[in-house]
């Protein structure tokens, strides 16, 4: 599959500016894996506040960049394209390297299982080939998950 740039990424997921952090998706294998790219430039909205004179990428931005790449592994499946996602669990988050303006984060995401609207997998981010950040995720597709809720078809009175 060819690289996906912001317009195509926006077709697949619901994240929007200022919280869309992925610039490009490469090596996408729907239902299996994706590689994301985030270029951190000095004019990012969070750098002036984090921290003046010593800017670095906040941890939440790194985690969100990882998860935005990860969700492309299953939102690239045609029947799930554009669906809403919900964080269920974040495990084993590690921050190995401070990331500063001018650096590029290359994210490799892997989908381990996708059943009944629950996606389980991981993502790791690298700067210049060195591990910078990694985490494991459980993400839900609420509308798919609801189909498997035993009480979802019952009249709630």
The catalytic residue positions are 50
Two tokens, residue 105: 């984060």
What would you measure as the largest C-alpha separation in the chain, in angstroms? Answer: 59
**CA nearest to 71, candidates 42, 106, 103, 114:** 114
The CA distance from 26 to 69, in Å, is 10
**Which ranges of 57-129 does DSSP label H, i.e. alpha helix?**
59-75
Torsion of CA 111, 135, 3, 47, to 10 degrees: 160
């Amino acid at each position: 599959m060819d690289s996906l740039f912001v317009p195509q990424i926006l077709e697949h997921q619901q994240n929007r500016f200022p919280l869309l952090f992925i610039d490009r998706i490469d090596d996408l294998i729907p239902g299996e894996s994706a590689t994301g790219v985030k270029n951190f430039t000095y004019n990012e909205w969070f750098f002036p506040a984090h921290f003046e004179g010593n800017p670095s990428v906040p941890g939440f931005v790194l985690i969100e960049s990882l998860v935005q790449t990860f969700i492309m592994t299953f939102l690239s499946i045609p029947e799930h394209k554009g669906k809403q996602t919900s964080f269920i669990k974040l495990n084993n988050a590690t921050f190995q390297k401070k990331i500063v303006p001018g650096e590029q984060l290359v994210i490799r995401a892997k989908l381990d299982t996708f059943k009944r609207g629950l996606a389980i997998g991981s993502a790791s981010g690298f700067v210049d080939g060195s591990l910078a950040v990694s985490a494991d995720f459980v993400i839900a597709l609420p509308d798919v998950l609801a189909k498997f809720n035993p009480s979802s078809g019952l009249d709630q009175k």
